[in-house]
Amino acid sequence: MEKIKLSVEHCKGCYLCIANCKPGALSISKEVNAKGYLVPQVDQDKCVQCGCCYTMCPDLVFEIF
């Protein structure tokens, strides 16, 4: 089930989301966006939809379903 959506085109690679994801559902992927940042990826199974990534992200990348 898709619990969370990432609009990684807005990402600026600060990784505050990863630092605040307690269940460890987020990690740095191998994908580089058009701005040149290595963007985060999510393990949907590990996500508990706590919203901490949304709350910390300065660039509106996250949407939780």
Partner 1 sequence: MVPKKAPELFYDESRFCGGCGHGIFNRILAEVLEEMDIVSDTIICSDIGCNHQFQFWMNVDAIVPPHGKMGAAITAMKRVRPDKNIMTIAGDGGAYAIGIGETTSAALRNENVVMFVMNNTLFGMTGGQLAPTTMIDQKVASAPLGRTVEDNGQNTDVFKLMGDMDIAYLARTSVTSPANIMKTKKAVRKAIEKHQAGKGFCLVEVLVPCPTNWHMTPAKSMEYIDEVVSKVYELGEKIDR
Where do contacts with ligand SF4 occur on this chain (CB under 6 A)? 4, 11-17, 21, 23, 25-26, 40, 42, 47-53, 56-57, 59, 61, 64
**Token reading at 13:** 């690679």
> Would you say 32 or 49 has its CB closer to ligand SF4?
49
Q: Does 38 bind partner 1 (CB under 8 A)?
A: no
Residue 55 binds which entry of partner 1, ligand SF4, none, CB below 5-8 Å type-dependent:
partner 1
Cα 1 to the chain's mean position, in Å?
17
Query: Which amino acid does the sequence have at 20?
Result: N
Cβ-based burial of 37 (10 A; exposed 0-12, middle 13-18, buried ≥19)? middle
